[in-house]
Chains A and B, each alone.
Chain A
């Protein structure tokens, strides 16, 4: 399931519950309650992106990208496999919104995803360098590992900002 974006201009789309590690451009479109989590190696211009859907795996090992705890675990493992040093890793995250005001579903799942990611990053001593989370808007994230780990966040109305 793990994708490996190459150095070419091709953008790898990381869908819900998926993750990717590499040097090429990666994107997660239309993040609502899900969180796009980037772990970037400052030294080598390599990184990974996970499209986290739920805060806790409860011991599940399939689809590591789907849960906050397993996603961080898998991204770090993937980066170390690529020769990255753990001390060089930094994180950025985008998403975790509450899209519907009145909705009898899992209301605060976005918020719970954010909290879970923060806790798990802390445990692993990975600093959270930037975030664009919460609120009630959908976001599209594009991550450029070889361009200083730049993350561009686009909103539905087309407005973009860089974090």
Chain B
């Protein structure tokens, strides 16, 4: 698998539009500015995934993408533990920082995840003129690498040794909240997206 310069640019732009919509929803919920990075696109060997996602405790909200894209893929919202606490606190007007994650954090995460990921998928799907739907979210609070590994393994990975990792960082400086939005397309979905983008770019 190889990605050309143009393909990377097109994907980055697609990610940019999606993430911008997700950022807007987060900004509305927090009533704060959200800083957004240019999306990163990495084509990485499975043995190097650990260089991009670590084993520090974080909340991960996972959505499977279904709809008019073959194979589908996954969207993952990754929020480090401390940011989760600040996020719930900001939403519910609480202040206690030194605490464990509770059911309240979990429902806040599922809610935020749902809204952000729906916005992300709606924006990318309408640009591509297809329908993409998120599955109901699954939440785990654990090591990001362990989650990624399970997702990668669930794809048909016998002969696939590379994954495409799309990452956009969304931050609120005011609340000191960091989050990452990951898109992991299955290979057929990536091919589909690239074809659609190609059509869009051809006058």
Contacts and interface: CB of A to CB of B under 8 A. Distances in A.
Bound pair: A and B?
yes
Interface of A: 1, 13, 15-18, 29-34, 51, 53-54, 58, 60, 63, 66, 97-106, 109-110, 136-140, 154, 156-158
Contact of A33 (B49, B140, B149, B155): B149
B146 A99 contact: yes
B150 A32 contact: yes
A102 B46 contact: no
Chain A binding surface, main DSSP class = loop
A65 B24 CA distance: 43
Interface string B36-60: 0000000001111110011111000
B42 to A, nearest CB: 14
Interface in B142-180: 142-155, 157-159, 161
Nearest to B136: A102
B143 A30 contact: yes
A137 B149 CA distance: 12
A33 B57 contact: no
Interface string B129-144: 0000001101011111
A156 B149 contact: no
Given A32-B149, A33-B149, A102-B138, A138 B143 contact: yes
Give the most central of A30, A51, A106, A154: most B CB within 10 Å: A30
Q: Which of A15, A99, A105 has the most CB of B within 10 A?
A: A99
A29 B147 contact: no
B47 A138 contact: no
Contacts of B54: 29-30
Interface of B: 45-50, 53-57, 62, 64, 135-136, 138, 140-155, 157-159, 161
Q: 6 closest A-B pairs (Cβ-Cβ)? A: A30-B145, A105-B154, A138-B146, A32-B146, A138-B143, A15-B47
A156 B46 contact: no
Contact of A140 (B55, B135, B154): B55
Candidate in A15, A154, A157 with the most chain B CB atoms within 10 angstroms? A15
Contact of A60 (B142, B147, B158): B158
Contact of B149 (A31, A58, A63, A102): A31
B146 A139 contact: yes
Contacts of A100: 62, 138, 140, 147, 150
A34 B153 contact: yes
A143 to B, nearest CB: 15
Contacts of B136: 102
B138 A103 contact: yes
Given A33-B153, A54-B153, A54-B157, 20 more contacts: A13-B50, A15-B46, A15-B47, A30-B146, A30-B149, A32-B148, A32-B149, A32-B150, A34-B149, A53-B149, A99-B140, A100-B62, A103-B138, A104-B135, A105-B153, A137-B142, A138-B55, A138-B142, A139-B146, A158-B57
Contact of A104 (B48, B64, B161): B64
A33 B150 contact: yes
Given A15-B48, A16-B47, A30-B55, A156 B152 contact: no
A58 B159 CA distance: 11
A106 B154 contact: yes
Contacts of B153: 32-34, 53-54, 105-106, 109
A72 B46 CA distance: 20
